[in-house]
Amino acid sequence: MNRKAFLKKGALSGGILLSAPTILISQDRATITKEEIKEFVFAAHKDFDQVKKIVEEKPLILNCANQRIRGDFETAVGGASHMGLRDIADLLVAKGARLDIFNYAFLGYTDFVIKLITDYPTLLNSPGPHGFNLLHHAKVGSNQNLEQWLIEKGLTITHFKGVFG
């Protein structure tokens, strides 16, 4: 193969590879509605089968957040986490859900949560969705080591009431 043919073939192949993700993502250009996001996040509080169905039909909904009241943002994995629904959280994480410190507390990543709080102490008193805090998430995740550590650090309540409204 001569140099010109090699370069032409390489440019064509490279262009196809670079454009493939764009083509795949752009298949459904419709905006995900607030109602669809709300339905998905609410389903993650109780209904594994519905969550699975929605995320398979609309994979880009996975990391959308619902705002229930001013400033109270919640993703589906956040809802599953504060409800203690490991099966739903695991499904969402397996599909690529982005995690936050509350999810890590629920899922049992004790060393990681402790490191984050050690490096950024104000995280200890951060409110999660609906005001549920790290202690709540450690408790519903049956993460007793983290639960005890958080209590020793002074976090004794599981919910910050009135944070968002």
Q: Give the model confidence (pLDDT) of 33-91 as tens digits.
A: 999 999 999 999 999 999 999 999 999 999 999 998 999 999 999 999 999 999 999 99
When divided into structural domains, the chain yields a total of: 2
Domain identity same for 35 and 18: no
pLDDT score of 23: 42
Closest by CA position to 128, among listed 97, 108, 106: 106
Residue 102's CATH number: 1.25.40.20
Q: CA–CA separation, 33 vs 5, rounded Å? A: 48
What is the per-residue pLDDT across 105-136, written as a single tens digit (0 to 9) for each? 999 999 999 999 999 999 999 999 999 999 99
Q: What is the pLDDT of residue 12?
A: 55
Residue 88 sits in the same domain as residue 38: yes
pLDDT reported for residue 22: 46
Are 140 and 106 contacting, i.e. CB atoms less than 8 angstroms apart? yes
Range of the domain at 17: 1-29
C-alpha 27/C-alpha 123 separation (Å) is 39
Q: Are residues 97 and 49 both part of a single domain?
A: yes
Q: Which bin fits 75, alpha (ψ -120 to 50), beta or left (φ > 0)?
A: beta
Same domain, yes or no: 6 and 41:
no
In a domain, 163, yes or no: no
Res. 7 pLDDT band, cuts 50 70 90: low
Which amino acid is present at 30? A
Extract the tokens encoding 165: 């409204």
